[in-house]
Structure formats: structure tokens, C-alpha cells
Structure 1
Amino acid sequence: MSFSPALASYGLAVRLLAPFAGLWLKSRARKGKEDASRLEERFGRYAQARPTGAVIWFHAASVGESGVALSQIEAMAARAPSLSFLISTGTRTSAELVARRATPRVTHVYAPLDSACAVRRFLNHWRPDLGVFVESELWPNLILAAEARRMPLALVNARMSPKSLARWRRWRAAGARLLKAFAFVAAADARTAEALSDVRSAAVPMLGNLKLAAPAPRIDAAARATLSEQIGARPVWLAASTHEGEDEIALAAHATLRAKEPSALLIIAPRHPERGEAIAALAGGAPRRSRFEPIGNANVYVADTLGELGLFYALAPVSLVAGSLLPHLKGHNPIEPAKLNSAILTGPHVESFQDVFGALSAAGGAKLTPDADSIASAVLTLWRDEAARTRQLDAARAATAQGAGALETTVERLLQLAPPNATAKAAHASA
């Protein structure tokens, strides 16, 4: 096993920074980026007991990866009723998603810090029988500690940007060492499969993107009915998951639209809901969802809540999937609008979801709109030409229906790694 200077340097840096982790987490909690009531989970301390029997652990980063994990959990649970599941994630939005969608056999925790003590407490307490890492959420100490306990590990739906893959090739010894820990690795796209095969010195199959297999999110019917009544017959569009600097572009597009459709309504759903107040001020005092303010006659409505993006996709016949209009951004997942009948617009900067947008664009299921003028023109066309909107929606649905085979193959492989007749294990106290 070759020595990796990168992993050694990483380990040293973590040890030096670990004493300051508490201050860092409390600072993030004050900004709303951490759940202050659950910070102990970051240190590997839990109020929940370990379930008896076999526990399959999924480790995901945020909302998109959590959706992939939940789809696999649902499929595995249907085939193996004795299994229990643990899902560790890193964001409050992902915790909200799991809370809404998970079954009683699923326990959610916040991912432990990648320090030796936190990782040891996590593994001592939960003692998973199989660890499944989703996409690119690879923490070296967590992986190597799990491997040291002879825990089977899998990396599924591996999907990395060109910059990330270049780093893997540059730090080849570190990449090879981490990939060696996984009994099963599968990629979401050909680019990632080729690069990981090179680093791992073993073929990594390209099964397809598991995000395409995710079901449409559940929608609160009562909330949808209330908002639909408030909107009425007004033409409406959504700017979803906006970042700072994109709201101005959406508002400029909306000003152009209102010159032709004076009653038009723009819903802005910021990626980070804490920006709601600033966006409302930018839009001249627009009403905000988080303050339970009705839409009324406003021409802009700020949807600054967690976990409701699907609701707004379902309300809007046209949606701009933001995080794509500025060069430093890398795009967001377009699967939800595709499955909720909202025609998709996107900016050009979609590096993190290039494979999905590539499939959508090739099929005619998404339209590139790089600036305010093109956004306004596309929205107006899709409002007025129902046949064109229907063609785009049909193409998007067809493109996103291709994940079923990848899900089936992945679940089969994971069940092969899971213990067939795991004996019951009592909860282990946190260290």
C-alpha cells in the first residue's frame, strides 16, 4: 500500500483544527447553517439508540444526494424487510427532506466531523453492517476507519466535476488508497467512470445517474390549493435556488415580462432561505413565505422556506433552475421540475449537473437562457404556446425516465454486500 502525502497532510490538519470545531459549529448555527439543537451529533454523540439487527448506513452530502439515498433505501426495504437504515447528511435542508420522506425504519443523523474521535464514536454507536457513500461525499478518516473495522463499503452514483477529477488524478496515491476501501464503485456518467477507473486501476462501471430514478417530491395539497387560489389566473414563473447576483437577473427579466403581461407573478425561491429578507427588499418589499404573508397583488413573492421547492415547481408552468447564471456557480438539480411538469430554463453554468442537463438539452427538455432578455423571451413563449411547452415537458419526462435500470442494478449489488442473516445487536453507548 503506497504512502500518500496528501492523506498524511490531511490527517495532520484535522488533528490541529479539531480543538476549534466547537466554535466553528456554533458560529455556523448562529447563521442558521447548523441545527443548534443537534450539534452533539457532529461529535458522534446521539440520543437515538441503534436499531437491532442489520443496519445499512448511507452517507450523503445534501438534498440531491439524500434523495438518491432514500430511493435506494425504499427499494432495499421493499426486498429485505428485516433491514434498518441510517442516513447521515451534512445540511439542514437534507435533514428536512429525510424527515418528510423517510419511513420508520430510517434514522437520520448529522454526519460526524471527520476527526478521529467523532468518527470513532459514530462507528462505535451505530456499528453499521454496510456503508454506502453517495456521489462525491468522501471523508478520508470516516472511510479508512470504517475499512479498518472490516465494514463493506460501496460508492454509488459517483459523479464529480472535471476539477474534482483532475485533483483525483493529481493526488493519485490518495485517490487510489481511498477507492481501495470500496468493495463496489459505480459511476453516474462516463467522465467519472473513466477517471475513477484510471485512479483505481480497476474498471468502474457507468450505470447511469440515480438522480433520474428519484420520484417526484410529495406536495402538500392544502398548501398548493391555498397558493393557487392566491395566484388565480395570473401568469406565473419560478426562479428556483437562486444565489446572490441571480435575483437581480430574474427581477430584470420579470420587468420585461410585465411590460407585456402586467399581471405576471415571479416567485423567487433562494437556495439559502436566510437571504429572504434581502431579496424582499430588492423586490420593493415583496411578501415572504417564511412570514406567512399572502401574495395579494404583489408582482414578486419570496419563497424563503426549507423543504418546499417542489411545491413551487408544481405551481409554476415555467421554472428557471438557477445556480447557473454566473460563472462561479455550478448549477442545481433539474429533476424535480421535470417530474412536476414545470418547463425548465437554465443558465450556461451547470458543471455539477452537466450530464443531466446534457441529456435534457439533447432531448429538447430544457432551454438555455443565459441572460435576462433570453429568460423573459423563453418564459413568454412557454406561457403563450402550450404546444411548445407540452413538447418540452414530454421530452424532459422521457430524458429523466432513464434511471430505473441504474437503480435496479445498484440495489442488487448493495443487497449482495448486506449481511443475509445479520444477528441482532444491542445499541452501543457513545464513547
Structure 2
Amino acid sequence: MSGGWARVVLTGYRLAGAAVYPFIGGYISMRAARGKEERSRRRERYGYASAPRPEGPLVWFHAASVGETMAVIPLIEAVAERGISIVLTTGTVTSATIARDRLDPAIHHQYVPLDLRPAIRRFLDHWRPDVAIFAESEIWPMTILELGARRIPQILVNGRLSDKSFERWKRRSSLAEALFEHFSHVIARTDIDAERFRQLGARPVTISGNLKVDTNAPPYDPNELAEVQAQVGDRATWAAISTFDGEEALAADAHEFVRPHVNALTIIVPRHPERGDAVEAMLVQRGLKVARRSRGDVIDATTDVFLGDTIGEMGLYLRLTEVVFVGRSLTGEGGQNPLEPAMLGAAVLSGRNVQNFRETYQKLLKNGGGRIVRDGDMLSKAVHYLLTNDKVRQDMIKAGQRTVHDMRGALALTIRALEPYISPLAVKARLQTYEMERQEE
């Protein structure tokens, strides 16, 4: 694709967006009906702000969903500590909940505007960001072009490109270059990611490591944890977390395999809590007794499965066990982040489809903190083995925690790379505060 064709494609994208803009309301309403949008905040998706813009310098952070939001929270807090105002946009209800629960109320959260010129312009006209910082792999053409037209620096942090995304962009290299040239800086997660961004035209590109390693352990309510632990008692536990359709059935298979040998409680935490009804129906059909967290069910000696179908309680679920299978890796593709269970002291199991977290799993496997299972049968045997072999389990736990410790440092490297963009805003914020204090005297 030539540069001329890239311009044609982007013009077509803009015109198509203008054509569908008047009819997008039905789509948003449908998502709201399915619980994927907050009905009361739908206007934010059109760029209408639900909060006034604070005075002084402001940075726009964007993180698509929960994982990206968790990754940038320490970075947001570091920037906010320097007196700079923040608006954070996310795209999911779950990530909005995380932002509300974890961030200072002075940090404004908005749902990300649709990548349509009227919505983007309305958002930028109101918030007037001095810098825009996007997490991981958020490439939205109209947003990038509109920021570029306004000469607002754009930075990609914790940047990554999956195998599939890289192949798609390579087939449209001129289009990629036409977009990526607008980034003032790409701070990539790994050497591989950095090289991919360079091949697609991004300059400059530096490497930070994975910001997700530098996040704090997911929080929990100590009283809630103590209550659930008392219900579990001395039963062995294992968890299947971030599961996708089909993996809950494999977890049920593992439970039935282990049950004759170990008095075990299986914890299942679907990646999408709204699937709770379907998962429970499948488990009950198999004759398993289920306690659902969302209902406040009590776990007793006859409970087979504790179904963690709530938002924002991963910290509780992970602290209930020392054996964790990380989903989207057997029936799904790409994998999910294994760092949180490793950080909190769990031996990690995963399927082979972990392309999105390849480097992390490589380090975890090399150090002995994780194991790959090729199918449901192997998962069942691995769970049984770890539950009945304390030394092997503890050795894996220690290796996983050592791996997390050795991988830390991405936050400091990212902050250092952002200094040329953030330092002038921090100076401006201090001067503004000084002037306001003078006027009050």
C-alpha cells in the first residue's frame, strides 16, 4: 500500500465514520442493554464531558480495559503527584469500576469517545490535553490524526503488538507508517515489540519492560477474606481464573478428577462475570454444588465450586489458594497475565496459547514458577499433583515470586522516558499554584 493509498484509506475511514455517526445510538443502546455500557454515561461516548476541565496542565491517559488500566495506575499516580491534572478514559464498565475504586477522586474518569471525528473533536475541545498517553496497543486512526492536527504529543506506553496484529499492520505498512509517525515516542514492552514498532515506522522507540510487573498486588478486604477463609476451613483449594467459554468445563473435569483423592474446593473466576448464570447452569447440570460470590452464598463442606462472578475481587480469590490455572490459554487464544497469581504466591498453570504474554511465560517457565498443560486431561493431573506435593508446589511459588521481583523496573524506565513531556507541565503547574497563592495573600 503506497502513501497515496494510505491517505485514501484514512479518508474513507473518516467518511464512513461520518456516515454512521447519526445511527450509532442504536449500537450504544444495545451495548447498554447488555451491561456493556453505563446507561447514565452514554453521552461520554460521543465526547460530551461529564465533568469540568480543571485549570492548568492536563494529561490524557487512555487504557482500553482492566489489564491496561491496572498497568497504568502507578504511572498515573506518579504524574498526578507532580501537580498535573489527569483525565483517564477506558472502554469497559469493569475498567471504569477499577478506576473509581483505585484512583484519587481528583483524577477524572470518562468513557473513551468513539473513534469518530465529531466525538473526538468534542472531547478534545473540552479537555484540551497537553499530552496524550495510550497504553499497550491502542491505535485509533481518527484519534491519532486529530491529536496530530492539534500538535498534541502522543506517547504509547507498555507498547505491544501481538503476532496477529503485527502481521495485519505489515500488510498495510504505509497505513501503519501514516499513523505511527504521529507518535512522539513509543515505549515498548519487549525487544520484539520494539523492533515491530520500528518496522512499522514508529520513531523513537525505547524499551521499558512490562508495566504490569510494577503494579501493586490486587487489593482485598481483610474482613471479607477472613470470612471466606473460615468457610473454606482446611480444605485444599485451586483456582481457574480469567476463564473463557469451555475452560470452566475443563476446570469441572479437573475437580471431578481430584475429588476422590483430595477434599478440594475449586474456585472458578470467569473473565467476564456476566457469564455467571451460564457457568453455574453447566456446573449444576454436572451435579456439582455451586456457591456464587455475587449471591453471597455460603461455602460449606458440600460445596464443589466457588464461582467468583464479581468485579474487582481478584485479590480475594487469589489469596484463597496456592494453585492457579490462568485461562484464555486452552480454549481461547492469547493468554492472560500470570503475574498477579505469581506475585501473590501461587504455582501457575496455563495452556499453550499465551502469545500475548510470551516473554512473561518464558521467564516464568525458565525459572520454574509455571507449567504448561496441553489439554484438559493434563490440567487435571497437574492440579492433582500440585495439591498433593507440598514441596513441589512451594518451590514453584518461590520461583514465581523471584521471577516477578527480577522483572520489576518498567515504571522507573517509563517515567524517565516521559520526563521531556512531563517536566515542563510540572513546572507550569507549580507556577500556577504559586500565582494562585500570591493572589490569595
TM-score bucket (shorter structure): over 0.9
Q: In the alignment, which residue of structure 1 is the partner of 2:329?
A: 324
TM-score normalised according to structure 1 size? 0.93
Which residue in 1 is equivalent to 2:3? 2
Task: Choose from 358, 374, 377 the match for 1:370.
Answer: 374
Question: Whole-Å Cα distance in 2 between the matches of residues 20 and 396 of structure 1?
Answer: 50
Residues 256, 373 of structure 1: 8 Å contact kept: no
**1:209-241: CA deviations, max 9, x gaps?**
111111111111111111101111111111101
Single out whichever of 199-208 and 110-119 deviates more from structure 2: 199-208
- Cα distance in 1 for residues equivalent to 2:58 and 2:128: 8
SS at match of 1:85: strand
Residues 119 and 343 of structure 1: CA distance in aligned 2, closer, same or farther (over 3 Å): same
Separation in 2 of the partners of 1:125 and 1:233?
56
2: CA distance, partners of 1:278 / 1:405: 41
2:49 paired with 1:46: yes
Cα pair 1:310 1:337 within 8 Å, conserved: no
Name the SS of the counterpart of 2:207 in structure 1: coil
Identity rate of aligned residues, in percent? 39
Counterpart-to-counterpart distance in 2, 1:420 and 1:363: 41
CA shift for structure 1 position 201: 6.2
Q: Secondary structure at the match of 2:87?
A: strand
Q: Give the deviation of 1:402 after TM superposition.
A: 4.0
Whole-Å separation in 2 of the counterparts to 1:114 and 1:202: 24
For 1:130-183, what per-residue CA distance to the aligned partner results, in whole angstroms no more than 9, with x for missing partners?
A: 110111011111111112111111111111111101112111111112111111
| Residue in 2 that maps onto 1:146 | 147
- Which residue in 1 is equivalent to 2:280? 280
1-structure distance, mates of 2:344, 2:90: 25
Correspondence 1:118-197 to 2 at 5 A: 118-197=119-198
Q: Secondary structure at the match of 2:334?
A: coil
Which whole-Å CA distance do the structure 1 matches of 2:19 and 2:244 have between them? 33
Instruction: Report Cα offsets for 1:63-103 as digits up to 9, x if no partner.
Output: 1111121121123334x1x1121111111111111112112
Query: 5+ unaligned residues in a row in structure 2: which ranges?
Result: 434-441
1:395 aligns with 2:399: yes
Alignment of 1:217-296 (within 5 A): 217-261=218-262, 263-284=263-284, 286-296=290-300
Q: Structure 1 residue 358: deviation in Å?
A: 1.7
| 8 Å contact from structure 1 (residues 60, 66) kept in 2 | yes
CA deviation map 1:173-220 (0-9, x unaligned): 111121111111121112221111112164522321111111111111
Aligned-partner Cα distance in 1 for 2:401–2:323: 15
Any idea what SS the aligned residue of 1:283 has?
helix
Give the alignment's Cα RMSD to 1 decimal. 1.8
- Select which of 310, 313, 316 maps to 1:308: 313
- Opposite residue 318 of structure 1, the aligned amino acid is V
Q: Which runs of 5+ in 1 are unaligned?
A: 426-431
Higher relative contact order (CA 8 A, sep 6+): 1
CA–CA distance in structure 2, aligned partners of residues 83 and 404 of structure 1? 25
Partner of 2:427, secondary structure, is: coil
Cα distance in 2 between the residues matched to 1:201 and 1:334: 29
Work out whether residues 213 and 401 of structure 1, in 8 Å CA contact, stay in contact via their aligned partners in 2: no
Q: Distance in 1 between matches of 2:160 and 2:400?
A: 21
The answer to whether the Cα contact below 8 Å between 2:72 and 2:211 also exists between their aligned partners in 1 is: no
Q: Distance in 2 between matches of 1:368 and 1:21?
A: 43
Secondary structure of the structure 2 residue equivalent to 1:390? helix
For the 8 Å contact 1:51–1:84, the answer to whether it is kept is: yes
Size of the aligned set, in residue pairs, is 421
Q: For the residues of structure 2 that align with 1:57 and 1:229, how far apart are their CA atoms? A: 44
Determine the C-alpha separation between the residues in 1 that align with 2:361 and 2:22: 42
